[in-house]
Amino acid sequence: MKKTQLIIAVFGACLLGLGASSTVAAEPSSDPTASASATAPPTASEAPKATTKMIQDATFALDPTDASFDLDVGDSTVPLNTSSSEDGKEVIRLVSDLLFGFGSAELSAAASAQLPTILAGIPQANPIQVNGHTDSIGDDASNLTLSQQRAQAVATAITSVRPDLVITVNGLGEADPVAANSNPDGSDNPLGRAENRRVEIIWEG
């Protein structure tokens, strides 16, 4: 074979090799959105919808026993007291979580400051009961003691602003709940327990 023919043959073989290798690489797409759609995150309309169970699982109630700080009546959106008539008696229900720190029977200054307004509707020299209540967390004896101490703290504060009232103090512990401490399935009910932690001022209507 002549030298010229050898060069042409080698050159041709190289071209064939390049042609073969070029068929292996993927041709670029003519669709300009192809690469973007492969990596783009789903849009809002494509994202999974939140179900009722997902919302329930993500919702929780604040519980003072889980907090590293005390709830304060000045910061609360829940009223310190509510009033009602029950069986011919007038009842003022005070929220213990806004009266006292966790596990404490020391009445807060902010709560004490509101007592004159809270007691304004009670007739002069009227006999009243001040009853303390707890939730079901803890043993019966401890709850009974705490409820008595809290009721006494409120009674003492009442005496300082309404010395005319004749006060009887009772600690009832967890014995008289106004809400369920647990759910039907046996799980904890923090909202119900919060309602049960209270001090009530009661007098004949």
Q: Where are the beta strands (DSSP E) in the chain?
A: 81-86, 89-95, 127-133, 166-171, 198-204
- Beta strands 198-204 and 127-133 are antiparallel
Higher pLDDT, 1 or 180: 180
pLDDT of residue 58: 53
pLDDT of residue 86: 86
pLDDT of residue 79: 81
pLDDT at residue 193 above 70? yes
DSSP letters spanning 32-58: TTHHHHHHPPPPTTTSPPPPHHHHHHT
pLDDT of residue 5: 47
User: pLDDT per residue over 73-86, tens digit each?
Assistant: 454 456 888 999 98
User: pLDDT per residue over 146-186, tens digit each?
Assistant: 999 999 999 999 999 999 999 999 999 999 999 999 999 99
Higher pLDDT, 178 or 35: 178
> What's the CA gap between 152 and 25, in Å, rounded?
87
Q: What are phi and psi of 100, to 5 degrees?
A: -130, 155
pLDDT at residue 21 above 70? no
pLDDT of residue 177: 96
pLDDT of residue 6: 41
Asked whether 80 and 185 are in contact (CB, 8 A), the reply is no
> What's the CA gap between 49 and 205, in Å, rounded?
53
Q: Residue 119 has which token pair? A: 């007691």
pLDDT of residue 164: 97
> What's the CA gap between 189 and 66, in Å, rounded?
14
Bridge partners of 81, per DSSP, are 94
The SS3 of residue 170 is strand
Higher pLDDT, 37 or 202: 202
The SS3 of residue 92 is strand
Domain spans of the chain, in order of start? 70-204
pLDDT at residue 26 above 70? no
User: pLDDT per residue over 80-135, tens digit each?
Assistant: 889 999 889 999 999 999 999 999 999 999 999 999 999 999 999 999 999 999 99
User: pLDDT per residue over 36-85, tens digit each?
Assistant: 445 565 565 565 666 655 555 555 454 544 444 444 545 445 688 899 99
pLDDT of residue 12: 47
pLDDT of residue 180: 97
Could you say which architecture CATH assigns to the domain 70-204?
2-Layer Sandwich (3.30)
